[in-house]
Amino acid sequence: MLHSFVASLLIALIAKRAIGLRVSGQAEVRIEILAALTRLRQLSLHPGLLDEADLAVGSEKIDSLAEQLHSLAQAGHRALVFSQFTGFLKLVRERLTAERIGWEYLDGRTRRREERVRAFKEGDATAFLISLKAGGFGLTLTEADYVFVLDPWWNPAAERQAIDRTHRIGQDKQVMVYRLVSADTIEEKVVELQQRKRELFDQVVGDEALSSGALTLDDIRGLLA
């Protein structure tokens, strides 16, 4: 398949640049590697994130999410839906609109943030779609009792902070958390890396840490193994 071919090219690029990183340790090489790893993660979500020509291909994650949100809506439950990639959240919004599933949306560029939060709190939307950067701090959303994490993050602490939006004073329901991970993709490797190196936190995705060496050659090899 074309997508497998693209993934193979990205892996080859990462392996080649990793050799340069071992030799030179240049921050520019590290940035190239992280960019390629990000593209692999996007490919795990939806090929259309890399090439708009593939937008019609579809996404099993979106299919699964829409099915589960339908069930939650019928049972009177509400959910927070998180992704690091706003482009993917856009595709989710389009699908939920087509399925007539009510939603609200918040990312780092959203204006009048308080209005969007209030609209979810006081309205009847089933899902609140939130980007990682927008959802880490300052939100209390006990109206939701389900959480969906659509893509595993390098930073397990940020993931926990986002999930904790539902665990606040006033929460009187059991909160269910689902992490959607694509089988046989780099996402599985990211989850394994989280488990092995919980101390990574923001060292990989934070701009200030791109040259810190937090993501080692052994880590990179593990992601590609």
| pLDDT per residue as tens digits for the range 60-100 | 999 999 999 999 999 999 999 999 999 999 999 999 999 99
How far is it, in rounded angstroms, from Cα 171 to Cα 160? Answer: 17
Residues 43 and 54 sit within 8 Å (Cβ to Cβ): no
Mean pLDDT of 17-40: 64
What's 16's DSSP letter? H
- The pLDDT tens digits of the residues spanning 45-67 come to 998 888 777 777 888 999 999 99
Query: Is it the case that residue 208 has pLDDT exceeding 50?
Result: no
Q: What is the pTM of this model?
A: 0.77
Closest CA relative to residue 87, chosen from 150, 37, 26: 150
Q: Is the confidence at residue 139, as pLDDT, over 90? A: no
| Of 139, 128, 155, the residue nearest 65 (C-alpha) | 128
Backbone dihedral angles phi then psi of residue 105, each to the nearest 5 degrees: -140, 140
Per-residue pLDDT band at 23 (split at 50, 70, 90)? very low
Q: How many residues does the chain have?
A: 225
